[in-house]
A and B are shown apart, each in its own frame.
Chain A
Amino acid sequence: MKVIKIDKKNWAGGIDKSRGKYQIFGSVKDKEHFVFRKLNSEEYPDMGNALSVLSPKSILFPQSEKIITASLDESQDDHHIMKRSYTDYSPRAVIGIMPCDAKAVQLVKLNFETDDYRDPYWCDAYEATTFVGLAVNKPSIYDFTSSMGSGPFAEEGLDVLLVDCEDEYLAKVFTEKGEAFMNSAGLTVEADTNKAVKLIEEMKTQAEKLIDSEKVKTDKLKEKSLLELHGASFWDDLSFACINCGTCTFVCPTCWCFDIQDETKEKTAIRFRNWDTCMSPLFTLHASGHNPRAEKVQRVRQRFMHKLKYFVDKYDKGTMCVGCGRCVLHCPVNIDIREICNTMNSYEAQQV
């Protein structure tokens, strides 16, 4: 592993140079909030760790993605033959992603690339993408990544981790992909590795001190009985405020559920994959009309059981929540996953 040092005066030039080989994705201010998207040739990624409303998951998993196209024009030879829609999979670099969002990508990967199946749309996008993260020197009050298996300087899922050291960035380069990006940006000046690593460790400790990782506890989730948690009485009052919109699921970097929709327009048929949400009553509505999660409390319970219990049991990789804090900030009715996590973690079933 090497550490590159980048004088901030050279940063913009580096981005410009890399545009030749990479589509650059980053965070930019749009009206009052930040969004993660593809940048045009005049734009530079925001390097302030602003908590974007929507996570960078849309770079690999767009909200509405064309996956299959077919012509309905019977005069064409290939009419009614379904073909994969064109998507630009030329190399992409995501710049300034938060470490927790990069970890989230790895958690989502568990779903889209399994022993049995490889989702071509997500996986092709993933393989084309280089993740250049930015460590969070000043975690926001919504950040509880340290409690959820990540942290402000976490490295999981990153090809490069940039650390903002005021006049310069130090870049820890972990992978070949990361190195390829740094080379194409012409950012190749190496730092004294030992000194740099030591400085980064100190900054990491400082940043971690700003998050009270004792505030959210997950240590007992695995040992709790799934059925007892499911049958707990706290779900009724806890779910009262929920209005079953899709906000939490849409801003969440680890939520990946989708809905397939076919649309036709004149002589073209397109199959879309759209974000779906388990908060919607439609989510589990069967064709027969039966709905196993017809009641709000069932859907709210399912969401938190999935993130904080089912995933924990199934994969033994910790929770499916990375602690980014977006749902806490954006839930219209202030349902707070941190509180619910603690309630679940400390739950003792009433002994009858």
Chain B
Amino acid sequence: MDSLTNKIRTLCTGLLKDGKVDMIVGFKKGTIPMSSCPMVARTQEQAEEIIWDSNCSLNLANYLTNIKGKIGVLAKGCDSRNIVNHIIENKITRKNIYIIGVPCDGMVDKRKIRSFFHDDITLFSEKNNKLFVETMSGKKELEKNDFLKDNCKTCMHRNPVIYDELAAELVKENEIDDPFADVRKIENMSSNDKWNYFDNLVKDCIRCYACRNACPLCYCPTCFVDESSPQWVGKGQDINDVKTFHLLRAYHCAGRCTDCGACEEACPMDIHVRAFTRKLVKDSFEFFGWEPGLDLTKRPALDTFNPDDPDEFIK
């Protein structure tokens, strides 16, 4: 059992023992290779099941809203920024959350790893940036850095930005020349190519809403796609309805999305849904100098106005 998991378990059992929290939201070991399962620990015994590894890529901030009591939560960089966002948007109160910050050097992309092998992966483990993968036909050792999730490669905030205590030493932040190279590639396409790119991107979408439901930002009591009086969006497979869902959801995340990648992690059809949100993350950054979730005192870029705003149209 690795030292980070041990440290986290010690911190969690301690918090429950001292009654500092009523429950802790973390991950437990998954039942299949390269998986982890979000869990809630209410007793010290349950807290002994908490783990932390490179498969903890879901965003636990998704589980913090609409719960009563004092909640402990494990948060990596992106998760902590979503917690800040929740506080600013009045979904949670700071004093009701105890944040165990976990500095993160990236999560692995299980799809990339799976497609590297011909048959089922039967065992997965890791140690010191090396991944050990076993399949029915043999074993292989891989470099973790070769199999990072895309959002981890361009991550600008690996360290938690808000926490009550840290589970490990802070890590060095990424130095990235152009974090939005992927977005520019699409921006530079011709109109026609762009249209086809997005049609092709969502053609496999089965409207399961795993992306929306895994996203901590999506907490509307009735999502616009579920509204029926009036009904805004069709529920079938018409490509225009599918695109409407994805485009509009991305816009609702504009200025709030931390690129945690939970949406892509959740998608059963392996759709690169971040193609939509990445553009808005870039626009927030380049037009407003805005990165969400870094400052408890500031409201998101598209959520506020100022009489001194430079944009001419409002004057």
Q: Which residues of A contact B (CB under 8 A)?
A: 30-33, 53-54, 63-64, 138, 140-142, 237, 240-241, 243-247, 250-251, 259, 261, 263, 272, 274-275, 277, 280-282, 328-330, 332-336, 338-339
A339 B58 Cβ-Cβ under 8 A: no
A159 to B109 Cα, complex, angstroms: 40
Q: How far is the CB of A83 from chain B (nearest CB, A)?
A: 19
Q: Tell whether A261 pairs with B40 under 8 Å between CB atoms, given A243-B213, A245-B266, A251-B268.
A: no
Query: Which residues of B, 199-218, contact A by the 8 Å Cβ criterion?
Result: 204, 206-210, 212-214
Asked if A272 contacts B39 (CB within 8 A), the reply is: no
**A245 contacts across to B, CB distance below 8 A:** 208-210, 212-214, 266
| Interface pair B235/A53, CB less than 8 Å apart | no
B99 vs chain A, min Cβ distance (A): 19
Could you tell me if A240 and B206 are in contact, using CB atoms closer than 8 angstroms? Answer: no
- Measured between beta carbons, the chain A residues less than 8 angstroms from B212 are 245
- Of A250, A263, A330, A335, the residue contacting B37 (CB under 8 A) is A335
Quick one: given A63-B206, A282-B226, A329-B32, are A31 and B270 in contact (CB under 8 Å)?
Answer: yes
> Per-residue CB proximity of B6-37 to A under 8 Å, as 1/0?
00000000000000000000000011100111
A240, A263, A335, A336: the one within 8 Å of B40 (CB): A240
Closest A residue, CB atoms, query B237: A64
Contact residues of B: prevailing secondary structure: loop
Interface residue from A54, A243, A336 paired with B210 (Cβ < 8 Å):
A243
Query: B112's closest neighbor in chain A, by CB?
Result: A32
What would be 8 A-B contacts, judged by CB atoms less than 8 Å apart? A243-B210, A243-B266, A245-B214, A246-B206, A246-B208, A282-B226, A332-B214, A334-B32
Apart from A245-B214, A334-B32, list 17 A-B contacts with CB within 8 A. A30-B204, A32-B270, A53-B269, A63-B237, A141-B120, A141-B122, A240-B39, A241-B37, A241-B38, A243-B266, A263-B234, A329-B32, A332-B214, A332-B267, A333-B266, A334-B31, A336-B32
Whether A33 contacts B269 by the Cβ 8 Å rule is: yes
Which of B32, B46, B238, B268 interacts with A332 by CB under 8 Å? B268
Chain A residues within an 8 Å CB radius of B30: 334
* B145 beta carbon closer than 8 Å to chain A: no
Task: Give A266 Cβ to nearest chain B Cβ, in Å.
Answer: 14
| B115 adjacent to chain A (CB < 8 Å) | yes
Cβ–Cβ contact B234 & A333, under 8 A: no
Query: Which of the listed residues A31, A243, A244, A330 has the most CB atoms from chain B within 10 Å of its own CB?
Result: A243
Inter-subunit contact A250/B32 (CB<8 Å): no
Decide if A246 touches B266 in the complex (CB within 8 Å): no
B31 and A332 contact, CB distance less than 8 A = no
Give the CA-CA distance A32 to B264 in the complex, in Å.
Answer: 14
In the complex, whether B147 has a CB less than 8 A from a CB of chain A is no
- Judge whether B194 is part of the interface by a CB distance below 8 angstroms: no
Give the nearest-CB partner of A139 in chain B: B120
Query: A241–B39 contact, CB under 8 A?
Result: yes
A226 to chain B, nearest CB (A): 26
How far, in angstroms, from A251 to B38 measured CA to CA in the complex?
21
**Cβ contact within 8 Å between A333 and B270:** no
Contact A336 B31 (CB under 8 A): yes
Q: With contacts A32-B115, A141-B120, A245-B208 known, is A240 near B63, CB below 8 A?
A: yes
Q: With the chains together, A280 CA to B214 CA distance in Å?
A: 14
Contacting residue for A243 out of B36, B214, B236, CB 8 A = B214
- In the assembled complex, how far is the CB of residue B289 from the closest CB belonging to chain A, in whole angstroms? 33
A334 touches B213 (CB 8 A): no
Q: How far is the CA of A105 from the CA of B30 in the complex (A)?
A: 30
With the chains together, A263 CA to B175 CA distance in Å? Answer: 50
Task: Give the residues in chain A near B63, CB-CB below 8 Å.
Answer: 240
B91 sits at the interface (CB 8 A): no
> A-facing mask of B218-253, CB < 8 A → 1, else 0?
000000001000000011111000000000000000
**CB of B105 closer than 8 Å to a CB of A:** no
